[in-house]
Homo-oligomer: A and B are copies of this chain.
């Protein structure tokens, strides 16, 4: 029976399904634990099939983390039609909702940050960087000077927000609106802290 189901999927669909299984696995496991054996077992496919799709374990882990990153970034794309302050609120709300609905995807990124594989770290880093840039664009529209210090502060704020999303949005299931109010207020505080060093 599983063989029949498998036969109905195109190679692209099959590959996407394997990647989705990997993303979900990372909700409760580290990236190290995501081996070809483990994924083969969970997806109910053979190891040779996995090697056919991904060639190496590194290639498979990279595909999983890229998928997680792209899902988050697409889902939380800023709505440029909104004025900057509302745009920040709206983006933070969608990030929080995404994290609450796709725990595995979010953990894939958090767990990818300290991966031993530089290619994986780069993929995650690009997502942190892009999130910081999206925020910066909105803040600059609000007349904030675009200083090197603002960039440093925003990247640190992204680390702050990741930790908050895990402890509030996931572990405590805090309502998304409350999480957003807190993140926004912390962002304001952090932005004024940059004045200490720009002065």
Chain A contact residues, CB within 8 Å of chain B: 30-33, 110-111, 113-116, 149, 152-153, 155-164, 167-168, 172, 174, 178, 181-182, 184-186, 188-190, 192-197
* A116, A162, A168: residue with the most chain B Cβ atoms closer than 10 Å: A116
User: Which of B152, B167, B172 meets A164, CB within 8 Å?
Assistant: B152
**A193 in contact with B197 (CB, 8 Å):** no
CB distance from A28 to the nearest CB of B (A): 12
Closest-CB distance, A34 to chain B (whole angstroms): 9
By DSSP majority rule, is chain A's interface helix, strand, loop, or mixed?
helix
User: Given the complex, which residues of B lie within 8 Å of A158, measured CB to CB?
Assistant: 163
Q: Which residues of B contact A110 (CB under 8 A)?
A: 114
Contact of A193 among B31, B155, B182 (CB under 8 A): B182
| Nearest B-chain residue to A158, judged by Cβ | B163
By a CB distance below 8 angstroms, the chain B residues around A160 are 156-157, 159-160, 163, 190
**A160 to B33 alpha-carbon distance, docked (Å):** 27
A-B contacts, 13 of them at CB < 8 A, read A30-B114, A31-B114, A110-B114, A114-B114, A149-B182, A153-B182, A153-B186, A155-B167, A156-B161, A159-B160, A160-B190, A185-B193, A190-B190
> Across the interface, which residues of B come within 8 angstroms of A157, CB to CB?
160
| A31 and B186 contacting across the interface, CB-CB below 8 Å | no
A184 to chain B: which residues have CB within 8 Å?
Answer: 196
